[in-house]
Structure 1
C-alpha cells in the first residue's frame, strides 16, 4: 500500500503539494462526490458562512492549495470533504477491539458504496510528520483532508462509523475534521475521548477509540450535542451502525440498521469462539461472510501501541 508523507512543519498551503501526481485520482473522487451531493443544495447555499465559522484557517489553506492542481474550486473541494455529514446513510462499517494475550488491536471494515470501487483503488496511508517523525497516520484518499480512520503511536486509534439519530444536524465542526484535530493535538487516550465526546459536531456518529494502555477502549455514541460512552463487555468491544447506549435517540428501521445487528452478533460469536492472536485472525473475522459487506472498501487492523497499520483493500 502506498504511503504518503505530509510534513506538518510546512505551512498548510504547502503540505499537500506532493499530491500533484495524483491529480487524476483526485478529480475522479471529487467528481463522484459532487454528483452524489447534487441534491444537497444547502451546502452550496451556506458554504461560505459554514467555512468561515467552522473550518479553521489551517484547513482552508490546505484545501485552497489542492485547488491549485485539480479541476475543482475551493468550495467544491470543501463540500466533498463534508461528504460524511451530507450522505452518511450510504456508509456501513464494522469495528471491534479485543485484548489477546499479547496486545490490544483495533480492527475495522469501512463499508462505503462507490462506482468501480474507486475508494478502494485510490486508498492511501498518510503519515503526518513533525521534525522528521510520524505523529499520526490516517487511512484515506488523495484530496480528503479529514479523517475516518487513524492511529497515533503510543497513544490511541480512532475509527468512525455512521449512525442516524432523531436529533437535527448542527452547524458545527465536521466530525472528520475533529478526528484529525484530536489525532494531531491530543496527547492521551483520555484527552481524545473527552474532546470527541463533548465537542458539538455537525452530525451523528459512532466512534471507537482504543488506547495503548490497559482499560483504554470505548465506543462513543454521538448525536450532534449529546454522547454516551460504552465500555467493553467480556473483554471485547464491538460497533456497527446502531446505538446501544443512546437508545432514546435512535431511529428505527433506518437504512444503516438493516444489517447492523446481524454483523454485531456475528463478530461476537466469532470472538467468543476464539480470541484472535495474530493480525490475520482479525482479518479473518472482518472477512467473514456475515461481517464483510459487498460495499466494503477497506479492511484494517490498527495497533495504537506501535502505530502500525495493516491494510487490505
Structure 2
C-alpha cells in the first residue's frame, strides 16, 4: 500500500495546518465569559434534517438518499481540503494521487467498506477520497460533552462538536474554512432495522462513524478526541503503513450503538477494545448516576470516571479530568461555571443548550450542538455559529 508514499511525507502533510498557529493566535479577542440564557430554541433555519438509513439494505444502497441531497457539499468540502494540501507544495500532490488511486486497497482494511463503495458510486468521488474523508475525522476534533441529571433523576446528554483546528484560517472572514464548509454537511440519521429504530446519530454526511448518538431507552454516547503522543497522528500513519490491529474511534462508537444492549455492556466495550488512537468516550445511561467519562489509551482505558452521589453532572472537553487544560484552550472552566449557574433544578434541553452556547464553550470551531434524552430517544441538532468577539477555538 505504501510503495508510492513514505512516512516522512505523511507526517509533513498531517502537520501542515499547525503552521498557521501564530496568525490565529493574533486574532484571539479579549472578552469576559458570560453564561447565556434564553437562547433556546434557535431560529428554525439552524435546524438539521433527519434521514433514515435502512440497515436491512445492502451496504451499497444505504446512503443513496443522503448522498442525493448532500453529495455536492461533500465534493465541495473535499475539493477545499485537497487545495489546502496542494498549497504546501508539489510533494503533497503525491499524497493526493496515492489516495485517488489506492481506494480499494485502503477500503478493504476498514469496516463498512460496502457503504463507502456506495457513497463513491452515488457521488462520483474516487473511492480513495471517500476513505480519506472517513479517516480525517479522527483528527482535529475539539469538543465539549455533558451528561446531566435533573432533580428527578432524568438524564440529559449534550455536546458541542468543534472541528477543523489548523485547517485553513481565513484572515478576511476570521473563520476556519473547513469548519464553515462542514456546517453544510450535517445531518441526523435514524438507523433502522425491521422498520424499528436501532439508534440515532449526528453525522457529517458521508462520514460513516459516529461521534454523537443515542440508543433509545438504553444509553447515549459521545466521543471527544484525546491529544496524546500514543496515537492520533501516529495511529493514522501506522494504519497507512499496514498496522490494522486497532479500531477506529468513530467506527467503534457506531458498532457499540448498534450491538450493545445495556449501559454496562457499552461501557465494557468502550473500555477494553484496542484502538488506533486515544479518545474520551462520554457515556450516559437511563438510571440516576449513570454517567461516565472513559479516558482511553490505545490498548485500554487508563481511567473510568463516573458520577457519584454528590454529582449531578459530568463534563469533558479534550483534556484528562485530573489535569489542567491547556491555557489557550480552557473551555472546561467556563463550562463548569455555566453549569453551576444553571443549577440542577433547571437541567433541561433548553438549559444545557444555553450552557453550550456560552463563549468560549461556543467558539469558531463549533459546528453543531446536539441534545439527547435517553428515555424518549430524543435527538435534536442545531448548527452553531459564534458572533464576534469570539475565540478561534
After superposition, what is the alpha-carbon deviation per residue over 1:234-283, rounded to whole angstroms, capped at 9, x for unaligned? 222010010125x6xxxx9xxx83444x3212222222232233311111
Q: Are 1:159 and 2:207 counterparts?
A: no
Q: CA deviation at 1:81?
A: 0.1
Q: Partner of 1:28 in structure 2? A: 76
142-151 or 39-48, which deviates more: 39-48
State the Cα distance separating 1:135 from its structure 2 match.
1.0
Alignment TM-score, normalising by the size of structure 1? 0.86
Change (3 A) 1:190 1:32: farther
Give the Cα–Cα distance (whole angstroms) in 1 for the partners of residues 190 and 120 of structure 2.
21
Contact kept in structure 1, 2:293 and 2:306, CA below 8 Å: yes
**Pair member with larger Rg:** 2
Residue aligning to 1:257 = 326
Give unpaired runs (5+ residues) of structure 1: none
Q: Is the 8 A contact 1:151 1:304 kept in 2?
A: yes
1:142 to 205, 209, 215: 205
Instruction: Verify the 8 A CA contact 2:210 2:250 in the aligned structure 1.
Output: yes
CA distance in 1, matches of 2:60, 2:288: 39
- Compared with structure 1, are the counterparts of its residues 52 and 129 closer, same or farther at alpha carbon in structure 2 (3 Å cutoff)? same
Please give the alpha-carbon distance, in whole angstroms, between the structure 2 residues aligned to 1:37 and 1:184: 35
Once superposed, what is the RMSD of the aligned Cα atoms? 2.5
1:104 corresponds to: 155
Indicate yes or no: 2:335 matched with 1:288: no
Residue aligned with 1:289, SS: coil
Find the residue that maps to 1:215 and give its secondary structure: coil
TM-score, normalization: structure 2?
0.70
CA shift, 1:49, in A, is: 5.9
1:126 is paired with a residue of what secondary structure? Answer: strand
How many residue pairs align between the two structures? 298
Alpha carbons of 1:194 and 1:37: their partners in 2 closer, same or farther (altered >3 Å)? Answer: farther
Runs of 4+ with deviation above 4 angstroms: 33-50
Match of 2:280 in 1: 206
1:272 partnered with 2:319: no
Residue 46 of structure 1, CA deviation: 8.7
Cα distance change of structure 1 residues 289 and 134 upon mapping to structure 2, 3 Å threshold: same
* Structure 2 gap ranges (5+): 1-47, 87-91, 165-175, 240-245, 384-393
Q: Does 1:82 align with 2:173?
A: no
SS in 2 for 1:158: strand
* Greater Cα shift, 166-175 or 142-151: 166-175
1:3 to 50, 57, 62: 50
Q: Per-residue deviation at 1:145?
A: 1.1
Contact 2:156 2:348 in 1 (8 A): no
